[in-house]
């Protein structure tokens, strides 16, 4: 067991920004697939049928629209290597 003081983490990026970047990367990967791809159909949320009652759940497309203002912020930040 470690009994000394806990050293501060060297990772300065927030976990939420890492997750947002990976969501956007995955969305870009899936959106370039063929039109009949199951993954693309699921991510875009375009399925036949009637909408259920209540508030609509947040779809992948809604999440991408919500994250789009952060794209320029994420792209402007330099990549950090582990040896700093």
In a domain, 35, yes or no: yes
Both structure tokens of 24: 């956007």
CA-based nearest residue to 21, from 62, 79, 81, 82: 79
Structural tokens at position 77: 């930040």
Give Cα separations from 61 to 5, 13, 40, 46 (angstroms).
Answer: 44, 25, 11, 10
The answer to whether position 22 is within a domain reads yes
Q: 7 in a domain, yes or no?
A: no
**Count of domains in the chain?**
1
pTM summary value: 0.45
CA–CA separation, 64 vs 24, rounded Å?
A: 7
Residue 81 resides in a domain? no
Domain encompassing residue 37: 13-45+59-70
Classify residue 52: in a domain, yes or no: no
Assess if residue 6 is contained within a domain: no
Interhelix angle 60-76/15-31, rounded to 10 degrees, is 120
Per-residue pLDDT tens over the stretch 6-63: 556 666 778 888 888 888 888 888 888 887 888 887 777 766 777 677 777 777 778 7
């Amino acid at each position: 067991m470690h009994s000394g003081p806990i050293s501060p983490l060297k990772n300065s990026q927030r976990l939420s920004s890492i997750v947002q970047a990976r969501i956007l990367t995955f969305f870009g990967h899936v959106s370039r697939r063929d039109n009949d791809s199951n993954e693309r159909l699921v991510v875009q949320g375009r399925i036949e049928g009637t909408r259920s009652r209540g508030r609509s759940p947040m779809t992948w497309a809604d999440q991408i629209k919500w994250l789009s203002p952060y794209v320029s912020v994420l792209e402007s930040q330099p990549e950090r290597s582990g040896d700093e």
